Chain A
């Protein structure tokens, strides 16, 4: 399981790197414009970095317990039912993540087969910038699968985010 956790963190770091890339691209664009020049397709590249940041962040955020869910109901049900709910929620999460990953992979494969190129100044093969979508969603499947296993073993999955809460 250690290996998996490193994988989620690595994915989170890739997401962080994409965030930095967005910031750098936008700043470069602002500076260039005010010097009377432009950075080619900075907007498009920033948008792709946004997609990368989002998808790479998915498994890491799940592992940190950052994705939002309603916890009010769980407080009013007995322990045994709560466990069943946790199993079901994890299983549904896993199924949906798998569905998403499957169709995202098919989508990117199609981009490759159709030779899709971007519409900006520089024609970039779309599959290249869409790879993070595939990797992120597949890692999300892995994370949900691990969560399901953990819950079945009555073990915690989320490691928390290490931040204080006001509760």
Chain B
């Protein structure tokens, strides 16, 4: 029997890792145990910056990673993190369908086979004080965690602040940051109600974790196992997207139930956000060139 390891980025309670474990169980069942995938959660084996390369060089056969972190290597990887481009699951799914082939081709060149994607819930804004219009963000210390969110925060008039994810609760508590943008999943995982009061369901963008496999390891499998892996990946993707849709409202409710004031984007802000979104999409297209344009055109169809 073949034995594989899989490095899962998130801890066990996160549904993205649950999907990974289901995927592994699914494969074991479909191959009658001919291929066993041991899932190691919570980035114990490889952390986010090292995961793709660990798969590429065969240190681990399978792994999942927040795909947009590879954006510096190629802007195509961060299309799902362009703020305000795809703001609901239907558009995010369209964007994924439009970008998948290009992404697959890029990864294939590096000896990696793309397996499936699982979306995070749409990103919302957490604040300590209520906001009604864009000018309320002026000068607010707003946590950003990558180039795109930094730029967005800047365009919103707030001041982008970097704080390591582990330091976030204390940084909120001491006033070092006053706002952040992240999914309700991360908000629930870190129990954001302990430090933030307001949640705005801005649905700025829908980032994804993408599971990938070392192509050489995959090609060495017997044909039956290969087929089983691909079939299981397809099911995992479906399960992942379904779970994300279902969990989003549950997670948002959880924020409310724990005492946060949860609401939609204030209308005045929404109009201004559209402008920010247009600027950001233009800037991304400049980086991504014709391939990027093709993807966005197809997603908008």
Contacts and interface: CB of A to CB of B under 8 A. Distances in A.
Interface of A: 29, 33, 36-38, 42-43, 110, 114-121, 123
A166 to B, nearest CB: 36
Contacts of A42: 162
Given A117-B72, A119-B69, A43 B164 contact: yes
Contacts of B176: 33
B279 interface: no
A110 to B, nearest CB: 7
Contacts of B56: 114
Among all A-B residue pairs, the 6 with the closest Cβ atoms: A123-B72, A36-B159, A121-B147, A117-B72, A119-B69, A117-B73
Interface string B42-55: 00000011000100
A93 B63 CA distance: 33
Interface string B154-191: 00000111101000000000001000000000000000
26 contacts: A29-B162, A33-B141, A33-B176, A36-B139, A37-B159, A38-B160, A38-B162, A42-B162, A43-B162, A43-B164, A110-B53, A114-B53, A114-B56, A115-B73, A116-B53, A116-B73, A118-B49, A118-B72, A119-B48, A119-B49, A119-B70, A119-B72, A120-B146, A120-B147, A121-B147, A123-B73
Q: How large is the interface on B (under 10, 10 to 19, 20 to 34, 35 or more residues)?
A: 20 to 34
Contacts of A114: 53, 56, 110
Given A29-B162, A120-B72, A120-B146, 5 more contacts: A38-B150, A119-B70, A119-B71, A119-B72, A121-B150
B147 A110 contact: no
Interface in B89-144: 110, 139, 141
Contacts of A117: 72-73
A125 to B, nearest CB: 10
B111 to A, nearest CB: 10
A44 to B, nearest CB: 9
Provide the main secondary structure of the chain B interface: mixed
B57 interface: yes
Contacts of A119: 48-49, 69-72, 146
A117 B71 CA distance: 10
Interface in B52-70: 53, 56-57, 69-70
A119 B53 CA distance: 13
Contacts of B147: 120-121
Contacts of B110: 114
Contacts of B141: 33, 36
A117 B110 CA distance: 15
Contacts of A110: 53, 57
Residue of B69, B70, B73 most packed against chain A (CB within 10 A): B73
Contacts of B48: 119
Contacts of B72: 117-120, 123
Nearest to A41: B162
B147 to A, nearest CB: 5
- Among A42, A116, A117, A119, the one with the most B-chain Cβ atoms within 10 Å of its Cβ is A119
A121 B151 CA distance: 10
Contacts of A29: 162
A38 B161 contact: yes
A118 B69 CA distance: 9
Nearest to A110: B57
B60 to A, nearest CB: 15
Contacts of A120: 72, 146-147
Contacts of B146: 119-121
A137 B139 CA distance: 45
A37 B72 CA distance: 23
Contacts of B159: 36-38
A42 B162 CA distance: 9
Contacts of B71: 119
